[in-house]
Each structure stands twice: as structure tokens, then as C-alpha cells.
Amino acid sequence: MIGKIVPIVTSPILALLIGIFFLGLSRKIMARIHWRYGPPITQPLIDIIRMFYQESVSHGIMFDLGILFSLAGSIAVVLFIPLGGMCALNSSGGLLVILYIMLLAPLGKALSSGEGANPNISIGVSRKLILSLGYEVPLILILLTLMIRYDTISIVGIVSQQGANWALFSIPLFISGIAYFLILPAILGIRPFDIVSAPQEISSGPDVEYGGKYLALATIEHALSLFIGNALFVDLFLGGGANPIFFFIKTLVVFVLCLFVNAVFPRFRIGQAIRYLWKWPTLLAFGGLIATLVMW
Amino acid sequence: MNLEILLLVAFGGAFITYVLGKISHRLRNGFAVSVSWFLVALVAFFYGKQLSTTFYSGFFDLPFILRINSLSWLFAIAIVFLGALSTVFSLSYMKGRKRTNFYYLMMLLVNASMMGVVLAGDLISFYIFWEIMSWTTFLLISYNRGPAIAAGIKYIVMSVIGSVSMLIGILSLYASYGTFVMSGISAGIASASSGYILLTLILFIIAFGIKNAIMPLHTWLPDSYAEAPSPFTAVLSGMLTRMGVYGFLLLMYVIVGATRIFDLGGFSYILAWLGAITIVIPTFIAMQQNDAKRLLAWHGIGQGGYMILGIAYGTSLGFVGGVFHTLNHAIYIVLLFMSVGAVQYRTGGERNLNKLGGLIKKMPIAFIGCLLGILGLIGVPLTNGFVSKWLIYKTLILGSSPGLAFAALIGTWATILSVYKFLHNMFLGQIPEKYKGIKKAPLSMQVPMIILSGTILLFGILPGIPLKVINEIGTSFGFQSLSVSAGGLVSEVSALNTINILAAIAVVGFIIWMFFRAGAKSTRVVQEDSYAAGTSVPKDRYHYTVKFYDPLFRMIKPYLRDIVDDFYNWIAGGARKIFGYIRRLYTGDIGYYTTYIILFLAFLILASLVWFL
């Protein structure tokens, strides 16, 4: 019993801390690349605590519930993902359930901000949904490749079968690995795919009506989604981790690589983003699937 | 208690309702509702029973057999339950309209004939009930007149084509085996040649495929769903269309039998791919729709693909998933059509998504129904749709069919896009000035919506209840039994446990809520009080949800035309032209007709001379 409860309690806390650390780190690294000094690495944490005590406006019940729903969804995903040998709920439906619970966060946010009746929100939500359709096409192909190669739908099974032979460096799967890395910025919502928030264009899109504690929750949700995107890559292609420390280091490396992409690229338009996502990553993912089917 | 009581109550109730309507409308409404709920109780009584009654009618000494087993029971209970809810929903929806007696008669007749279809034990009575069902449906689809007539005709033409094809199939079976009784035919067909089985399958599949709207036989559906009165659209989408699924089950697993079907090899594979195509294309077309009911109609086609995919794939997981999805789909699509119906009722028949908006505060129950309905349609965890879709995905992945699995999964993502637009444009966003004084839905509309919302959550959290019944059907067809638990499935290859998911989300949600409460209090503001970068958002209509997904459609629009419908229309146009020419022969002048007769006689004489000499 204790052995079950410990990961259930610790994994969300761990994910939360790492996610917020990522937020701080990204601002710092971006600043250094821009030759600025940048804010202290704890700035996002300070902001979140401060925002909890600030005034805010609400547009109705769905506005409140949606954001709670969205954050609950993100935390639930963390419970299903193995974090370096630690998986809180490992026997509850596997990768398919993860794929589905990952939906709750954007859906909750879309429902919540939808009640805000602000043009920027509608544009942002529509972009978010189109973008997610864009990257789901290659993502589903990649996940199918993995599930067929390892003949299981359980993510824990996929991690344990890799062991030291990372999927990224095994023969047919490296193609899918590259495809996943190409869509990772879109999953994380960073440049060149920051079309959803696009602060200079549509005033942060779905976040525009959030203030005070709503913004705090939205920030936490954003931090978690940064963590989840990277953690999935580490679990699926880098063999997870023997313990949470190794897992964290791997996630950090992947994230920093993504930040470099973020630093040098300008923003796509939504049409360009879809065209890109449905061209190279999809072709690679499809190639990986065919190769796996032929070789296995 | 005998089975004929069910049909007696159902058909008798329908006609008595009509007669009572001539006396008093209140009496009629009360009677219609009580008959439909009485039927629910009656059918529930037959749970777990295996009965069969034979009548010998005077019609060519053919036996008329009624029988009930686990499969017919599941469909029967769904039919009477959803039928009863729709009847309750009709009470306020139909109030003050014309020809309501006729409406209630037809509504109850549709339900009665559907029950006849699932209870029939021989093909002749099956066919008779099937035809009653088609004709009553036609009359209800064209109830509203105007464009509804055209939709109804489209439906009945396709339906007749299906019926004729089925009739040929039935007669050919009779010619081969000398019986119409299903058990007799299935005993005979076990030794038939593969070619004959294939022919029979194709003849029946045309009929069932048209009813279940499998691509490319789907074209009747969007028009009919959109034009029929909303409570009837609910029945039409929930159970009536799914009689096609019942037909498939009957054909594949009762008459022909699973072993022969899978001996044919390519057949179930092709059927599964038809299902996959039926998932993807209609779901993308649904995204473009601006008419609330038409949008749901395209999803009705798309979700039908999941059912066929699961049933045709033919493993025990896939079978259970397909049948369970039929049930789940019925529940949430009925709820969604009721929600649209409630909005239509209050806004004076408006169903253009671009003209609605912001109704969440005015019609909270309709909103909750709509929300749970779309969550079920997407298949979000903790709603019923999730469990059945999970079963289907898992079947496809473990069966190493990545192409089918990809189609099924991408269909879900396309669903999210279109149903978010659906919900957003009706209930979220900005409310038009003219709807500011709108009232919430009447009680007789709220009650069915609340019951159905509850069912969605119940089957999503405790899927073990329906899965147990469906598993029995599967084992009776010779499938391996699944180890069902209350929260899903227990098995070695990653089990499903919805109770775990519920616990995770509930506990996490509660903790976050506590944090949320602890933070500084927020002030409730009106929707016009929003951030617009220094300017103000215009007060009335500023509808930024028109062309919601335009950037996407600029790319994929060329691929999304309903080519099949265009093709059928082209044929219909050609036929109309030919009939136009033929009609010119009928001038109305006796002289012409006399000439025709003489010419025809001359032709006969000439022909006989040529023939015999």
C-alpha cells in the first residue's frame, strides 16, 4: 500500500517542480542567447505565488471549472507516465489512456476560456485545435510504430523492453525518433509553433482573460505540459531512466535542445505549420512504421 | 409471459394513442408516455431469458417466429428506453404543432416496428417489420414538409433499393434451403459454397449498409437527420440507423456464423476498411458544417464506422467494442440531438451555428447535456465512449493493423475539432442581443437530458455493467469470454481500470479546487467586460467563430467533397431527363393513344411473324 501511495504523491510534485524549473530555465537561456542577463531562475515560482494573492475576474462557472479540469487532466497524465522506474498507475490502460488524458488539458482550457467571449480567445483556441490535429497525425503514427514494435500498449512495457538499447538508436525506430523530435516543439507550443499564444499578435490567445489565480493555474498547467512533452520523448525513445535523477537529466538535455530551436526560429503562420507537420515529420513517421512492419 | 405481449402493447399502444388524440391531447400525451415506459418495464422483465414462440399464420403456411436472446434483448431495451425518453421530450417540443396525433402514431409505430425487427426469428417477419420501419421513418422525416419532403424521398429511394436487394437475398436463401427460419438457414448454409455465401452477404450488406450509412451508401443520412423533427432525429440516429448494425450482427454471426465468415478471408478485411473510410471522411466533412443537426449527422455516419470496424475485425475484444460502441453512441447522440432540440425550441428553430452563442447561462441543463454528449462522442476518459473506443483501438493495435488503428485514432482528433466548434458556437462565446431574454428548457426536456447524462457517466465509470451483457452475446456467438470487472477489463496485456482513472482525476481535482478556493477571491464580470487591447469588443454580434477552422480548410477543402452524393445526383438527374422524354408520349389526346395501341399491335404481329416463320 505504502509502495503505491509514495509514487502517487511524489510524481506530481516532482513533475511540478521540474516543470516550473524548466520555465525559469527557458527564460534564462533565451536571455543569454539574446545577450541579456535574464530574470532569476526562481522567477516563475515567485510569480505563481504572487498571482495567487492578486485580484482576478471570472466570466462564469465554466470559466472556473474548465481551468481546474485542465490542470487536473495534466496532473493525471503525470500519474500514468513512468518517471525513472516510478509509475503511479501503471496498469490502467497504457499508452492509449495517456493519449486520451492528454486531451483533457487543452479541452478544459478551451471550455474555460470559451466562456470569456473575447475574439483573441476564439482565434487562439481555433489555432490550438488545428495545430494539435497537425501534430497528432505524425504522433499517432509514431506511437503505433512503437506499440507494434514492442507488441504492447503499455508504456511501462515499452520502457522496460528498451533497457539499455534505446529506441532512438535501434535500427528502424530511429526514423520515428527523429520524426518525434521534429514535432516536439509543436507539442510543447514553443517557437516556431507558438502560434497559439502569439503574445504580440493575439495577446496570449486563450490566456487573455486570465488574471490572478487563474493565470497562476494556467502557468502551472503550462509548466506541466512542458514536462510531459519531454518526459514522453525520454520514455519512448531514450529508454526512460534507471532512477528519477537520470530521468531528469535526460529530460533536461532534450528540453535544452528544444530551447535552441526556440531561440533561433521565427513564428510560423498556422497554414505553414500544418504544411510542415504533415510533410516531413509525417513522411518520416510513416517511413518508420513501414520499416518496422517490414522488419518485424 | 409470452413475447407477443411486447408487440401487442407496442403496436396496440400506437393505434390507441391515435384514437385518444381525437378526444383530448392531454389524454393522448399521458397515454403515449405511459405506454412507452410500460414497454421499458416489460422488456426489462425478459432479461436473461431465451424464449421462442411460433405462430402458424395462414400465409402460405409459413411459420411466424418471435424469439428473444441476449442480442435481441440488448437492442430491445435500448430501443424502448431511448424511445420512451424521446416521447417524453416530444411533449413540449411538439406542443402547438400541426398533425400531432399523426406524429405520435408514427413515433410509436417506429419503435414498435424496430422491436419487431429485433424479435423476429424468421426472415419473412424480419422483412415485414423492416419495411414498416422504413415507411414510418419516411413519413416522419418528411413531417415538416418543404425541404423535408426531398430528404424523405432520398431516404425512401435508397431504402427501397436496400429492401429489394434484401428481398432477393431472402428468396434466394428460401430457394436453396426451403425455409425462412433463421436457425434452419444457418444450419443449411454451413455447408454452402464460399461463392454463394459471398453473394448472400453482398445482397444483405447493401440493405444493412444503407441503413447504417456506410460509405459509399451514406448519402441519405445528412439530409434526413437535419430535416426530421428533433425528437425523432434522436430516435433515428440513436437506434433506427443502428438497426443496420443489428442486421450485420444477425447476418455475420447468427445466419452465416463466425467460422464461415472468417474462412472467406478478404471479406471481413474489406468490411473493416470500409468502416475505416467511413470514420475518416465523414468526420472531416463534419468539421465544415454550420448546421448543428447536419454536423451531428455526419458524426452519426462516422461513428457507425467504428461499430462496423469493431464487429468486422472479429476478435472477442473487437466484437465487444463494436457492440458496446453501438449502445454508447445511441446514448450520447440522442442526448446531443435533444440538446439541439431544446435550443431550437427556445430560439424559434434556429440551428445555424453561426447565429447562436453564449447560451450557457440561459440554458444550463442543455449545456451540461451537450458537454457530456460531446465528451462521450470524443471518448474522453470517464465517459462511455472512451471504453468502447479503447477496446476497438486495442484490438487493432494488438492485431497489428496500424492502418485501421490510425484511421480510428485520427477520426477521434477530427471529432474534437468539430464538436468543440459545435459546443462553442451554441453555448460559449458571445450571446446575441435577441437571445438575452431566453428561458431555460421546459421540464419535460430537462428530465430526459439529465437521465441520459447520468447514463453516460455511469457507463463510463462502471463499464462492467453493460460489458457483462455484451460479453454474454459474444460467448453465445462462439467468441472467447473476456474477464470483465466493474471498472473495465482484467487481463495480462495491460488492463483497463476506469475506477483508477476516476480516483486519480477526482482526488487531483479536489486538491486543486482547495488551492483555488484558498487564493484571492475573483469578481464575476459580464462578458462585455473583457480585454481588447484598449478598444472595446462590440456589444452585439461580433461573431469570430464563423470560419473557425478556415486556415485548415484552405488546405484540405478540395479533398472533402461528397463525391458519392454528386455521383448519385448525377444518376438521378439523368434518370429524370429520360423519364421526362418518356412522359412526352402521354399527350392526353385519345388519338395518340389509339395510334400507340395500333402500333404496338402491329409490332406484336410483326414480331410473331418473324419469330415463327
pLDDT in tens, B202-225: 888 888 888 888 777 777 888 888
B508: chain A residues, CB-CB within 8 Å: 12, 72, 75-76, 79
Give the Cα-Cα-Cα angle B392, B398, B402 (nearest 5 degrees).
80
pLDDT at residue B404 greater than cutoff 50 = yes
CB contact under 8 A, B524 and A60: yes
Which tens digits make up the pLDDT trace of B344-372? 888 887 888 888 877 888 888 888 889 99
Shortest alpha-carbon distance between residue A70 and chain B (Å): 9
Interface with A, mutate which of B390, B483, B522, B555 (most A CBs under 10 A):
B522
Pick from B234, B432, B255, B254: nearest CA to B342: B234
Backbone CA torsion sign across B401, B402, B407, B411: positive
Q: Does the CB of A107 have a partner CB in chain B at under 8 Å?
A: yes
CB contact under 8 A, A93 and B497: yes
Contact B426, B292 (CB under 8 A): yes
Shortest alpha-carbon distance between residue A138 and chain B (Å): 10
Interface of A with B in 194-253 (CB under 8 A): 203, 208-209, 212-214, 216-217
Q: What is the percent of chain B where pLDDT is above 90?
A: 1
CA distance A186 to A179: 12
Which tens digits make up the pLDDT trace of B441-480? 788 888 888 998 999 988 888 888 888 888 888 888 777 7
A148: chain B residues, CB-CB within 8 Å: 397, 400, 402
Q: Does the CB of A57 have a partner CB in chain B at under 8 Å?
A: yes
Rounded to an integer, the average pLDDT of A7-16 is 82
Q: Can you tell me whether residue B522 is helix, strand or coil?
A: strand
CB contact under 8 A, A118 and B410: no
CB contact under 8 A, A140 and B531: no
Q: Does the CB of A258 have a partner CB in chain B at under 8 Å?
A: no
Pick from A129, A28, A128: nearest CA to B418: A129
pLDDT at residue B272 greater than cutoff 80 = yes
For cell 472531416, the residue is B284
Strand-pair category, B51-56 with B63-68: antiparallel
- Which of B417, B500, B545 is nearest residue A122 as measured by Cβ atoms? B545
Q: What is the pLDDT of residue B240?
A: 85
- Which of B380, B420, B524 is nearest residue A104 as measured by Cβ atoms? B380
* b (16+ CB within 10 A) / e for B440-461: bbbebbbbbbebbbebbbebbb
Pick from B102, B107, B73, B101: nearest CA to B87: B107
A132, closest residue in chain B (CA to CA)? B413
Interface with A, mutate which of B287, B427, B428 (most A CBs under 10 A):
B428
Q: What is the pLDDT of residue B202?
A: 84
Model ipTM value: 0.84
- Which of A52, A58, A71 is nearest residue B512 as measured by Cβ atoms? A71
Contact A93, B495 (CB under 8 A): yes
Contact B169, B139 (CB under 8 A): no
A62: chain B residues, CB-CB within 8 Å: 360, 367, 428
Q: What is the pLDDT of residue B492?
A: 47
Rounded to an integer, the average pLDDT of B11-37 is 85
CA distance A255 to B44: 57
Which tens digits make up the pLDDT trace of B473-519? 888 877 777 777 766 676 645 566 777 777 777 888 888 888 877 77
CB contact under 8 A, B402 and A111: no
Pick from B6, B91, B69: nearest CA to B40: B6
Contact B360, B514 (CB under 8 A): no
B502: chain A residues, CB-CB within 8 Å: none
Shortest alpha-carbon distance between residue B344 and chain A (Å): 21
Rounded to an integer, the average pLDDT of B411-419 is 85
Helix ranges (DSSP H) in B538-562: 550-556
CB contact under 8 A, B522 and A212: yes
Grid coordinates belonging to B306 = 467504428
CA distance B45 to B51: 12
Question: Which uninterrupted H or E stretch holds B524?
Answer: strand B522-524
Q: Does the CB of A125 have a partner CB in chain B at under 8 Å?
A: yes
Q: Give me the count of residues in chain B.
A: 613
Rounded to an integer, the average pLDDT of A1-11 is 72
B361, closest residue in chain A (CA to CA)? A60
User: Long-range contact list for B176-182, CB < 8 A, 24+ apart?
Assistant: B179/B122, B180/B62, B180/B63, B180/B122, B180/B123, B180/B124, B181/B63, B181/B65, B181/B121, B181/B122, B181/B123, B182/B121, B182/B122, B182/B123, B182/B250, B182/B254, B182/B255
B410: chain A residues, CB-CB within 8 Å: 136-137, 140
CB contact under 8 A, B390 and A293: no
Question: Which uninterrupted H or E stretch holds B539?
Answer: none
Task: Kindly report whether the peptide bond that precedes residue A192 is cis, defined as omega within 30 degrees of 0.
Answer: yes
- A213: Cβ–Cβ under 8 A, 6 or more apart, which residues? A51, A52, A54, A56, B516, B519, B520, B522
B491, closest residue in chain A (CA to CA)? A91
Q: Does the CB of A257 have a partner CB in chain B at under 8 Å?
A: no
Of A257-266, B423-432, B485-494, the poorest mean pLDDT is in B485-494
CB contact under 8 A, B416 and A107: yes
Q: Does the CB of A6 have a partner CB in chain B at under 8 Å?
A: no
Of A12-21, A226-235, B323-332, B436-445, the poorest mean pLDDT is in B436-445
- Which of A76, A141, A208 is nearest residue B531 as measured by Cβ atoms? A208
Between the CA of residue B192 and those of A108, B167, B195, B206, B256, what are the distances in Å? 55, 19, 8, 21, 10
Grid coordinates belonging to B156 = 425512401
Grid coordinates belonging to B193 = 459454397
- The string of DSSP codes covering B202-250 is HHHHHHHHHHTT-TTS-THHHHHHHHS-HHHHHHIIIIITTHHHHHHHI
CB contact under 8 A, B417 and A53: no
A130: chain B residues, CB-CB within 8 Å: 417, 549, 551-552
pLDDT at residue B59 greater than cutoff 70 = no
CA distance B125 to B63: 9
CB contact under 8 A, B493 and A153: yes
- Which of B380, B398, B501 is nearest residue A103 as measured by Cβ atoms? B380
Q: Can you tell me whether residue B86 is helix, strand or coil?
A: helix
B284, closest residue in chain A (CA to CA)? A133
Question: Which uninterrupted H or E stretch holds A233?
Answer: helix A212-237
pLDDT at residue A75 greater than cutoff 80 = yes
Q: Does the CB of A119 have a partner CB in chain B at under 8 Å?
A: yes
Interface with B, mutate which of A64, A127, A139, A144 (most B CBs under 10 A):
A144
CB contact under 8 A, A133 and B397: no
CB contact under 8 A, B414 and A123: no
Rounded to an integer, the average pLDDT of A202-229 is 85
Residue B420's pLDDT band (boundaries 50, 70, 90)?
A: confident
Rounded to an integer, the average pLDDT of B550-578 is 76
- Which of B367, B380, B394 is nearest residue A153 as measured by Cβ atoms? B394
The DSSP letter of residue A208 is T
What phi and psi values does residue B517 have, to the nearest 5 degrees? Answer: -65, -35
CB contact under 8 A, A137 and B428: no
